Amino acid sequence: MANYVTEEGLRKLQQELEQLTTVERPKISQQIAEARDKGDLSENAEYDAAREAQGLLELRIAKLQQTIIDSRIIDESKLDNSVVQILSKVTIRNIKMNKTMQYTLVAETEADFKSGKISINTPIAKGLIGKKVGDVAEIQLPAGKTSFEIVEISR
């Protein structure tokens, strides 16, 4: 399954992978060696903890490598601003509360709610995809069904 990312998003994934393989992996290997040097491995909690941390790290590295392999860079210049899609900056108004919010729809790996970037896989984003300015999206949220009006779509 393709993972659509911006060039910046791909660069961040590659930097994280580099950090894990060149810094974290050797650090855990050193911890395992130190724990092993302490003797009996059958009752060595430090050794067990370091081995478990190594397993989790290797799992993260493998997942990141696959994500990078599956990544497809999005050419933002070819995106249409008339409908909501990935990388759209959407201003929506909660009709019931008359509250306006702005989100940028991004790939899962680039989501950062604090900076207004929500994953394309969230219920809100899924409900907004394909809508145009003036459309109303009925979105099922944990608090119940909510209506959002599309106020503006930009980049």
pLDDT in tens, 122-146: 999 999 999 999 999 999 888 889 9
41 vs 18, which has greater pLDDT? 18
Contacts of 48 (CB under 8 A, 6+ apart): none
- Asked whether residue 8 carries a pLDDT value surpassing 90, the answer given is no
φ and ψ of 12, to 5 deg: -65, -40
Amino acid, single-letter form, for residue 47: Y
78 vs 91, which has greater pLDDT? 91
* pLDDT computed for residue 154 by the predictor: 87
- Pick from 7, 16, 131: nearest CA to 147: 131
Distance (Å, rounded) from C-alpha 132 to C-alpha 52?
49
Q: What is this structure's pTM?
A: 0.64
For a pLDDT cut of 90, what percent of the chain falls above it? 54
- Asked whether residue 1 carries a pLDDT value surpassing 70, the answer given is no
pLDDT-wise least confident of 5-14, 68-77, 96-105? 68-77
Q: Are 57 and 20 in contact (CB under 8 A)?
A: yes
